[in-house]
Amino acid sequence: MKKLIFLTMTTLFIVALLAGCAPKSVPPMESNSAAPANQSAPAADMSNSTSGDMPEYFIYTANEGDATVSVINMATMEVSATIPVGQGAHNAQVTPDGSFVYVVESQNGSISAIDTASNSVVKTIKVGDGPTHVVFSPNSKTAYVTVAEMADSTNSSGHDMGSEKKPGNVYVIDVASGNITAKIPVGMMPHGLKISPDGTHVVVANMESNQLSAIDTASNSVIQTIEIGKQPVQVGFTPDSKYVLASLSGDNQVAVIDMMNMAIVKTINVGKEPNQLIATPDSKFVYVANSGSDDVSVIDMTTLEAVNTIIAGDKAQGISISKDGTTLFITNTSANNVTVIDTATNTVVSTIPVGKAPNGITIKE
């Protein structure tokens, strides 16, 4: 009996020893290869995927088709809240201090402030007819809103001017009080606008007059107007303050402008109907959402050439980038979703469903 117990224990010991020596499974190696230049990255649909590598920050999209704002939690890559807003939610912009996201409601002639702590609308400010975009001073105290003033078609004598084109305005708003402190006349059908990194200038894209207006924020006056290509939709600054860029929807080009003298340095061919555009934090690249070709052009700011094209979604429109420059977000207006792009490889890593007809997009980090 003792011999049998001894043999059994010996056998179990040998089996355990052999199991411990068995080879462990090796995980597959990850590819670090970048997408080749001038080659479209595959638009992988990973709508229901989650990523443990993503930090917890939030993406806000202005959904023009259903008057809502979708809030995406990037820790889960899913919509965590849907906020009702005014009609024609065209653009969304977070204040630099992260306290609010303002939504431009083009059909209501207003902008609304969403408290990012509660994700609820806490203030609505009436402006003129046809507002489109909003930006903020670096200290978050002043807002600048492009307003086309489309409803006012009569002159001072009350005569109907019909379809005659008229200049729009940039409204200057005190954020704390909601009061309009100035109206700055600009070109016809002002659309996109951006503020310089130091907050001293605002540049406005005037779609119908094919011009850019440069505003001095100290005096709230236009100090320079330059002729540009057809239908400038939006502008953007490189963070190093070297260049201003303008998307020319009617020319399928992006104009590069020297910020010191507002002189055009070069025009670059991109996709069809370029819309929103944004520079990486290191100023090395600019990404352009092309709504007519459903893709994103990548511009190398050293060579001033388009070096890559990334397939996005149907009617790629809005664009935003994370603070560290690693992740790009594109709203696809006709697809009702957001494309997420890894800027290290210029490949699509996820597609996230949002509300109807998303347009503007902004990030709260």
For the chain, list the domains and their CATH numbers. Answer: 35-149+167-364 (2.130.10.10)
Parallel, antiparallel or unpaired: strands 58-63 and 358-364: antiparallel
Sign of CA dihedral 225, 230, 235, 236: negative
**Residue 166 pLDDT:** 82
pLDDT, one tens digit per residue, over 71-122 is: 999 999 999 999 999 999 999 999 999 999 999 999 999 999 999 999 999 9
**Residue 89 pLDDT:** 98
Residue % of the chain over a pLDDT of 90: 80
Cβ-contact 277, 289 below 8 angstroms = yes
Average pLDDT, the chain: 86
Cβ-contact 274, 312 below 8 angstroms = no
pLDDT, one tens digit per residue, over 260-284 is: 999 999 999 999 999 999 999 999 9
Q: Phi, psi at residue 6, to the nearest 5°?
A: -60, -45
pTM: 0.84
- In the sheet with 358-364, reading across from the earlier edge strand, the strands are 78-84, 68-73, 58-63, 358-364
